[in-house]
Amino acid sequence: MDLKEMLSVAKKKADSKYEECPECEEIAKDLMRRFPNLLEHAKEANIRYLKKWSEKSRYLGKCSRATGKWAYLTGYDYVIEVWADWWAGAELQEKEALLLHELRHIVKSITSQGKVKWGLRQHDVEEFFDVVRIYGAWDNSLMKLKKVLEESENESCAREEHTD
Ligand SMILES: [Zn+2]
């Protein structure tokens, strides 16, 4: 590579909002080992991990499916990107929770012709705070969330008592 090429590569790097995230991949692989049942589809997918630098972001992380020609050209099934500015200050527990969330979006199905089809699993709960404020846990998904939160609170109390 001559100097001119080197400069152009360096400039491209400086201009790009995206960067590889080997730490994301390491944490994701650890999660797949610890939660094999939750991540049985994710374990089989080809995933590329990126950090995205931007002052503001509407999301902490995002899982996108590589479709059609992009899957063909890159060999990847999904891209998981994390908001680099948040990532830089996050605790390991928070990073794990974010990646577990993104990896749970990965879902595999088999078509009638026996082909693998990758999709995006929807969230278990979709709701507005204001509706919950007025009507509480009014449907099954919210009641389930309430139960899970109560259980996890009890568990963390038990953990605290245990360590005291
Ligand atoms: Zn999500």
Distance 103 CA to ligand 1 centre (A): 9
Distance 72 CA to ligand 1 centre (A): 25
Distance 65 CA to ligand 1 centre (A): 13
Give 88-147 pLDDT, tens digit per residue: 999 999 999 999 999 999 999 999 999 999 999 999 999 999 999 999 999 999 999 999
Alpha helices in 16-139 (DSSP H): 22-34, 68-74, 84-89, 92-104, 129-135
> Is it true that domain 16-120 has CATH number 3.30.2010?
yes
Record the pTM.
Answer: 0.83
CB contact set of 137 (below 8 Å; sequence gap of 6+): 143, 145, 146
Distance 3 CA to ligand 1 centre (A): 43
Distance 74 CA to ligand 1 centre (A): 23
Q: How confident is the model at residue 148 (pLDDT cuts 50, 70, 90)?
A: very high
How far, CA to CA in Å, does 136 sit from each of 133, 140, 143? Answer: 6, 11, 9
Distance 62 CA to ligand 1 centre (A): 7
Q: Are 79 and 45 in contact (CB under 8 A)?
A: no
Distance 121 CA to ligand 1 centre (A): 9
Give 17-36 pLDDT, tens digit per residue: 999 999 999 999 999 999 99
Reading the block at residue 134, the tokens are 């007025």
Distance 57 CA to ligand 1 centre (A): 14
